[in-house]
Each structure stands twice: as C-alpha cells, then as structure tokens.
Structure 1
C-alpha cells in the first residue's frame, strides 16, 4: 500500500511528541489524536486541485497534488491521516476490494474515522455529462442524452446498493465512524453556457440530488453518516460567477474537469467533515 508523504510522517511525529509531553505532565494533558483513514473516488483524492500523482503501492491509483479537505484535516493538531488510499475513477466495488489488503485493514482496525465519496463512477456520471453537453448535442442531437438519463434510475439504484455493501465491509473491519460525503451540484442552471444548456444543467443537477438521496438512504441504513454538501456549493457551479468546480473548456478531456477546486474542497467539504471528526473525539 501507499507510503505516506513526508508531511504526513512529520504530522504523525509531532502528534506523538505532543502526546508524550502530555503523559509526562498531567496538567498539560490534551484531547487525544483522531486517527483517520481516507478512501473513495476522485472527490476524495483531490482531483481538481492541480497536478496528478500516482499512489505508491496501489497500481493505477491517482490523486491530485493540491490541498483538499483531507489534507487540511491532516494539518489539524488533533487529527492524523494514517492512510490515504482514495483513487480517482474507483467504483464502489473497487473501494471494497481495497479491504483485501492487509495494510488497509490494519489502518481501519485502528481508525476513529473513515471518510469517503463513492457512487459517481458506478453510474457513469462523466459519460452522462458528455452525452448531454451542448457540443455533443449540437452534432448528435438529444437522443443519446435522453437515453443515458433514462438509464439513470437503475444505475443509481445499483450504485446505492453497492455503496451499502462497501460500508458493511468497512464496518466489519473497523469500529470507526464512517462518513460518506455526497456530491455537489456541478452546474449553474440560470443560463446557457458553452458546456450545457440551462435546461440540461437543471436536469443533471436534479439527478445529482437523486444520487445523493439514494446513497444517503443506503449507507445510513448500514450505520454510516451521510454528509450532504449541496448547500455549501450552492451558487458555485460551472458557469457561475464564482465557480468552485474546475472546468477548462479548452481541454475537454482534462481529468481535473468537473471536480472541486481547492476552494471547493476547503470551503465546501472541509467544514462539513470537520464537524464529523469532532464528534469522533
């Protein structure tokens, strides 16, 4: 599995020294450090924040190089990210398969919090958006988009069921608080943009709401906590005056496209997640 970056090793060392000092001086005792394991897809892997790097020990696993909600949590004096194995492109079953690795199960056994996003890749979200984009529809017409949207209910149902099985598998390996973070509405639907018509943007945002709702119902039934970030991102979709979602129209295939920017992660995801970590303490 992954060798943690130097900054995380330093954080762990600093936490250990702080705890040792507290043990030596009872009067200086402080709350314990929360151990956090991060799993999931590209929305847990900092895509959208800048460059892209491979994760050591996990073939084909990629993460962003910029700051996100997990990175900021790791800089907190009472939080230690002991394992960050989120991988862009992962579906729910691939997250579940990570639990076959001893390094992952060892980290989960000691974890206080497990955080992840999952489900978007199961439904082929990027393919749906491409089929419904204005450039595609200008050439191919609306049939492909309509067909993809017609398949969405069944795909979402399957994704939610698989997400529930992943949560159940994590629960078997850990007593941690499992926090499943939802997806933001990606688009501003108040006007047409070069990427999407306002009508299609509204339809896609509605399906994002359905995905979040079904994921929430499925994972909470298994004992996880679902955190909705819709309100945090409201007004900051692609096409807005202050977007928190990265999109480069000159490079449609940019893998960072349609992921939160650093501002999105730090202002959208981080405040919601911090509250859940505080509860684990």
Structure 2
C-alpha cells in the first residue's frame, strides 16, 4: 500500500521556517493582552458537542467547543467566534478574517479537512467495500500532497498579514481509529489503517505549514490517544446514520478533554 506523506513539502517548509522562536507567550498570556479570534471548520465550531448557539445558524457554534470554553477560562478584551461548520481554507480566507487586526493577540484555527473531503472519505469507507474505500482515500491523499499546500499557504499568509502581533495556534485532527483495538465492527483493519494514514498526512501538512509561518501547533491527535473510536471511552462520534453531520466529530468530552487540553498544552 502507498505510504502517505508529503516528505518533500515538509522538508522545504521546515527549511523555510528557519528557527522557531521558543519561550513565546502562552495562549493565556496572549489573550490577556488583547482579543481572541477563533477561525476554522466544524472541529473548532463544535459540531457534535451540542448546545449550539442559536444565532450561529448552520455554523453550529457550540458553547461546549474548545474556543468558547477557553475564552470562558481566560477572558480576553474581545472574543470573535468565527469558526463555522463546513468551512474550507478558501471560505475561512474569504469570510472569517475580518475580525483580525494588529490588536488581535490570539488566534486558533482548524482547517483543511473539508478541502480534502474527509467527511465523504469517512462515509465512503464505512458504506463501501475495501477497494472503494482505498481508492477514495488515495484521491484525498493526492489532493493533500498536490493542491492543499498552496491553499494552506494563502490562508496562513493572510492570517499572518492581518494579525501580525498575534500568537496563532493551529490545531490538528485526531486519527479516528485505534488500530490496536479488536472491538470495532463494520470496517476492516485495512480500511481503518487507510483512514488513520490520511489523517496523518493532513497533520504533517498542518505542522509543516504552521511552522513555516511561525505558528504553534496544538496536537489534538495526541490528546485523543486512548479515546478514539473503538476505545472504551471514545471522544469521537462514530458514524451516525440519523445525523451524519456529527459523525467523526468530537463529543463534548472530545472538545473539553481533547481539544481544549491540546490548546492548553501549547507553550
């Protein structure tokens, strides 16, 4: 099976990054000194976590989402909760950056999964035979390697330009499955491997691009260790046929104990 990765892009991005500053302000310190803006897709808006803010409409912003919880614990001079379900890098670039300015002190972001069609990848793998799943994952991987890097560059560059003084934390995506578990029904181990490897490829790109622009990376994938689908206490929803939109998204515990803790761990 083809190994997933973006080795050449990662290498060039890390070289372009030069040295990443250490000893930077923690998220709490940054927000205390200025405004906080939450950008991104459904993993930041809180799809799957319930308690949606009525005024957010189809963006499904949740009071259980990590940006809302983080701001409640570390009140800032202003809080713009812009993350929206279904957002792509292009829609974040075109519709979520107006709150950024030179006075913005703290920005968080999840983006890229919708560009690569991860929701469709997950559904395809659950509902189709192994070969169809594998082909769909390969298509997503090719997109991550060939097309998504330039989209990430445009978005991250715009964030850097609009909020030059902000500490920016980009959070990655948790791999959905624990390959060491034998309790999963419905998917072969090979299909679970494919889905996990696609997520790894996405996360490598996120890390490389973030560091290229001097942004920090919050490792949500690590925070979800032992709490993936098929573990005894999963923090991700499995496929939900009655509400497919929540499938593979963090539960309230996934937001509070996974994403929020990944953000808190950034130094």
TM-score, structure 2 normalization: 0.79
Is 1:70 the equivalent of 2:60? no
- What SS does structure 2 have at the residue aligned with 1:271? helix
Q: Is the 8 A contact 2:39 2:109 kept in 1?
A: yes
Which has the greater radius of gyration? 1
Is 1:84 the equivalent of 2:73? no
Larger mean CA deviation between 116-125 and 196-205 belongs to: 196-205
Unmatched tracts of structure 2, length 5 or more: 1-30
Aligned length: 234
Task: For residue 188 of structure 1, report the CA deviation from its aligned partner.
Answer: 2.8
**Structure 1 residues 246 and 146: alpha-carbon distance in aligned structure 2, compared to 1, 3 A threshold:** closer
Larger mean CA deviation between 261-270 and 63-72 belongs to: 63-72
Q: Name 1:258's counterpart in structure 2.
A: 248
Task: For residue 106 of structure 1, report the CA deviation from its aligned partner.
Answer: 4.6
Deviation per residue, 1:168-212 (Å, 9 max, x gap): 001111121111100011123222633422221122112211110
Write the distance in 2 (CA, Å) between the matches of 1:147 and 1:77: 44
Task: For residue 126 of structure 1, report the CA deviation from its aligned partner.
Answer: 1.1
> In the alignment, which of 76, 92, 117 is matched to residue 124 of structure 1?
117
RMSD (Å) for aligned C-alpha atoms:
2.3
Superposed, 1:32-47 pairs within 5 Å as 32-47=32-47
Write the distance in 1 (CA, Å) between the matches of 2:46 and 2:224: 16
Is 1:222 the equivalent of 2:210? no
Write the distance in 1 (CA, Å) between the matches of 2:205 and 2:85: 22
Write the distance in 1 (CA, Å) between the matches of 2:162 and 2:205: 24
Write the distance in 2 (CA, Å) between the matches of 1:216 and 1:167: 12
Higher relative contact order (CA 8 A, sep 6+): 2
Unmatched tracts of structure 1, length 5 or more: 1-30
Write the distance in 2 (CA, Å) between the matches of 1:80 and 1:195: 48
Write the distance in 1 (CA, Å) between the matches of 2:239 and 2:144: 27
Q: Is the 8 A contact 2:240 2:246 kept in 1?
A: no
Task: For residue 275 of structure 1, report the CA deviation from its aligned partner.
Answer: 4.2
- What SS does structure 2 have at the residue aligned with 1:237? coil
Q: Is the 8 A contact 1:49 1:64 kept in 2?
A: no
Task: For residue 34 of structure 1, report the CA deviation from its aligned partner.
Answer: 4.3
Q: Is the 8 A contact 1:119 1:160 kept in 2?
A: no
Write the distance in 2 (CA, Å) between the matches of 1:231 and 1:98: 30
Write the distance in 2 (CA, Å) between the matches of 1:66 and 1:197: 36
> In the alignment, which of 114, 132, 136 is matched to residue 148 of structure 1?
136
Write the distance in 2 (CA, Å) between the matches of 1:244 and 1:106: 31
Is 1:113 the equivalent of 2:106? yes
